[in-house]
Amino acid sequence: MSGGKRPGFWQALLIAGTFRDTSASRGLPLVSGKTITVFDPDGNVLDGGVSAIAQPTEHRIETLTQEQVREIVQRSTTQAGVTAEALAFARLLRRLGVEMVVRTDDPAGFFRNRPLKLSELLGELVGHERPTVEGTYVEVRDRGGRFVTASAYAVRTGEGVGYSSPRFESGTGSGTSPLTGG
């Protein structure tokens, strides 16, 4: 999303889970794991590895329209105290994945309360027994557009990844997103 780039690692998680569930529903051999490697533009490995998919193959994910998801995002951004800057959708098995960029007036406060803020922002989408989307990718930026943190989650694999700006961990630096390069 940022700078025209998309969160490829998150999309790979979505595809791995969708492939696994579709394969199981068609009686094909069980896909029990996946390998995803993320490279930066210089070819350095940012994230990678092999992992099992320790999730059931029967997922009951709601089929919502983009408008219904937009309404949920509007409520959740208000609850989390952020402003939606960009919203896009991935579509898998007639269900949506949500990609969003949000802005915060209090980046240090968001970072300090990251688990709570992400729960407020994403809880209605993926945080209950009946998820409403395939997964979420959220990138948080400050009012000046600088990267604060990013989180990605895929329901069917039960996996996610998150990165935060080093300026909040160490108190210095401008911070870029390893997921998007922005």
pLDDT in tens, 2-49: 433 457 778 888 888 888 888 888 999 888 888 877 777 788 877 677
Is residue 177 situated within a structural domain?
Answer: no
The distance between the two most distant Cα atoms of the chain, rounded to a whole number of Å, is 52
Kind plus residue range of the DSSP H or E element containing 103: strand 95-104
Is residue 179 situated within a structural domain?
Answer: no
Q: Report the number of distinct structural domains present in the chain.
A: 1
Q: Which of 95, 100, 157, 160 minimizes the C-alpha distance to 132? A: 95
Is residue 182 situated within a structural domain?
Answer: no
- Asked whether 57 and 24 are in contact (CB, 8 A), the reply is yes
d(CA 139, CA 137): 7
The residues near 108 (Cβ < 8 Å, ≥ 6 apart) are: 168
* pTM (two decimals): 0.80
Residue in the structure block whose two tokens are 């949500």 = 98
Q: What does DSSP assign to residue 104?
A: E
Q: Could you read off the pLDDT tens digit of each residue along the chain, which spans 182 residues?
A: 443 345 777 888 888 888 888 888 899 988 888 887 777 778 887 767 778 887 777 777 878 899 999 999 999 999 999 999 999 998 887 778 999 999 999 999 999 999 999 999 998 898 767 788 989 999 999 999 999 999 999 888 888 888 888 887 665 433 333 343 34
Is residue 9 situated within a structural domain?
Answer: yes
**What's the token pair of residue 178?**
């390893």
Is residue 54 situated within a structural domain?
Answer: yes
Range of the domain at 136: 2-170
Q: What does DSSP assign to residue 2?
A: G
- Burial (CB count <10 Å: 0-12, 13-18, 19+), residue 9: buried
Is residue 96 situated within a structural domain?
Answer: yes
Core vs surface per residue 96-109: b (16+ CB within 10 A) or e: bbbbbbbbbeebee
